[in-house]
Amino acid sequence: MRKISWILVLLCFFACNRNPFAESRYQPAQYSPSSVVVPRPDNAVIPLPDKPAIYAVFLTNQGNIAVELFDKDAPKTVQNFIDLAQGEKEFTTRFGQKVKKPFYDGLTFHRVIKDFMIQGGCPRGDGTGGPGYEFDDEINGKSLGLDKLKAGEAPYYQYQLQRAVANELQIKSREEAESKRELIEKAFEEAKKLSVLEILFRTGYKYNETLNSHRAIKGSLAMANAGPNTNGSQFFINQVDTPHLDGLHTVFGQMVSGSDVVDKIVSAGNSKTTIKKVLIVDKRAAATPAQ
């Protein structure tokens, strides 16, 4: 009798509800590009490429790292980083005070993982701190090819696939998941036919179709976050390629020198490397004047 009842539940779910995984719900987010302004261009203290671009130079006690910032491909994220680095943006301290000063000076790379990345930008030094505000991701999922990749063929996104199914079936607890195992397994197989873009969209990620987004490869500078649209001040620099992060983090720069320094920071361990200062060098052909 119990087996028959489950069959009826399955039939009702996929017939009466017309299979929630049968078609796409993805809608691109509205997006308006903006120009990046460097309020106070710094002088380069190390050799930089001739390419006209904005560069961030991390001065650390392990050495210097230079990164090209993607001002055309992630302008709002780049502007946030520049304004925090130069003390142009007000942020809230852990004690509730609102201040304007160079945010990254004196912070550490609090989380480093060998063969993965180095992470910084936390004022508390434990990964829980930020500037007191959050802003949206700045990613074009289609430019990353996420619309062409089936969820069932992408093991990197199994967690998000499980979340999408749980959200659709409104699973609230482990006990409930166990009691609805057959229903979940059926839904899971259907969801695997959808694109990764669709699955990530259903778990809260927003994607525009305007920018040219970059993959998270070795040397990428990207925003660290706690889930969709929770960016603040924390960032990471990849020591290796991390394809499992594509579409989950805004990549807003690419390292042009200092890979040996990244290796040193990894070897030193958590919170052993201090950011003395972040310089912003504007080498664009026609630097945007401060407003």
Instruction: Calculate mean pLDDT across residues 33-58.
Output: 97
How many angstroms from the chain centroid is the CA of residue 50? 28
Tokens linked to 222 = 């990207």
Look at residue 166 and tell me whether its pLDDT is greater than 60.
yes
In a domain, 185, yes or no: yes
Rounded-to-integer distance, Cα 262 and Cα 112, Å: 10
Domain count along the chain: 2
Same domain membership, residue 150 and residue 87: no
Same domain membership, residue 273 and residue 219: yes
- What does the pLDDT look like over 114-162, one tens digit per residue? 999 999 999 999 999 999 999 999 999 999 999 999 999 999 999 999 9
- pTM comes to 0.91
Same domain membership, residue 154 and residue 123: no
Same domain membership, residue 196 and residue 123: no
Same domain membership, residue 129 and residue 63: yes
Same domain membership, residue 171 and residue 77: no
Q: Which of 157, 186, 203 represents a domain boundary (last residue)? A: 203
Same domain membership, residue 263 and residue 180: no
Same domain membership, residue 217 and residue 132: yes
Q: What share of the chain is helix, strand, coil (3-state, %, to 5)?
A: 30, 20, 55
DSSP 8-state code for residue 22: S
Same domain membership, residue 109 and residue 246: yes
pLDDT class for 238, splitting at 50, 70, 90? very high
Q: Which of 159, 179, 203 represents a domain boundary (last residue)? A: 203
In a domain, 48, yes or no: no
Q: Which of 203, 225, 243 represents a domain boundary (last residue)? A: 203
Amino acid identity of 274?
A: T
Residues of the chain above pLDDT 70, percent: 92
Residues of the chain above pLDDT 90, percent: 83
Same domain membership, residue 72 and residue 110: yes
Instruction: Calculate mean pLDDT across residues 106-119.
Output: 98
pLDDT at 181: 87
Rounded-to-integer distance, Cα 151 and Cα 149, Å: 6
Q: Judge whether 263 and 255 are in contact, CB under 8 Å.
A: no
Look at residue 290 and tell me whether its pLDDT is greater than 70.
no
In a domain, 84, yes or no: yes
pLDDT at 1: 46
Instruction: Calculate mean pLDDT across residues 189-212.
Output: 97
The CATH number that applies at residue 60 is 2.40.100.10
Same domain membership, residue 278 and residue 154: no
In a domain, 22, yes or no: no
Rounded-to-integer distance, Cα 238 and Cα 112, Å: 10
User: pLDDT averaged over the chain?
Assistant: 92
Q: Is 209 helix (H, G, I), strand (E, B) or coil?
A: coil
Structural domain containing residue 67: 54-140+210-282
Look at residue 7 and tell me whether its pLDDT is greater than 70.
no
- Range from 10-19, 48-57, 242-251 carrying the lowest mean pLDDT: 10-19
pLDDT at 6: 47
DSSP 8-state code for residue 155: G
In a domain, 80, yes or no: yes
Look at residue 232 and tell me whether its pLDDT is greater than 70.
yes
Same domain membership, residue 136 and residue 58: yes
In a domain, 119, yes or no: yes
For residue 95, give the nearest of 133, 135, 125, 132 by alpha carbon: 132
Amino acid identity of 264?
A: K
Q: Is 66 helix (H, G, I), strand (E, B) or coil?
A: strand
Q: Is 272 helix (H, G, I), strand (E, B) or coil?
A: coil
**Which residues on neighbouring strands pair with residue 64, listed in sequence order?**
59
